[in-house]
Amino acid sequence: MSLTHQDVARIAKLARINVSDEEIVAVGNQLNNIFGLIEKMQAVNTDGIEPMAHPQDVSLRLREDIVTQTNQREAFQAIAPQVEKGLFLVPKVIE
């Protein structure tokens, strides 16, 4: 398997990481080397094996529906890049 430059551009877009045209060759090569390592998995027969998502086979704990949080907007927004009237500001979103 080999990732093309288009593949790299597509996943960079998905991941919202700017990868310049100059970088794309080097990044592509590195990713292909990594996938060369990963491909070794494909030789293994895993038919009938249940996928393991968590180390422990336990169930989700459920929390009581009781308010425990208080308003900390001031502290939280003190470290925000841009706020106005209590809102986080971002470049205009066009729908």
> Which residues of this chain interact with another protein, rule CB under 8 A?
3, 7-8, 11-12, 14-19, 27, 30-31, 33-42, 44, 46, 49-56, 58-69, 71-73, 75-82, 84-93, 95
Across 37-70, b (16+ Cβ under 10 Å) vs e yields: eeeeeeeeeeeeeeeeeeeeeeeeeeeeeeeeee
Neighbouring-strand partners of residue 83: 88
Q: Cβ closer to another protein: 21 or 71?
A: 71
For residue 24, the minimal CB distance to another protein (Å) is 11
For residue 32, the minimal CB distance to another protein (Å) is 10
Q: Cβ closer to another protein: 21 or 92?
A: 92
CB atoms < 10 A from the CB of 28, how many?
A: 19
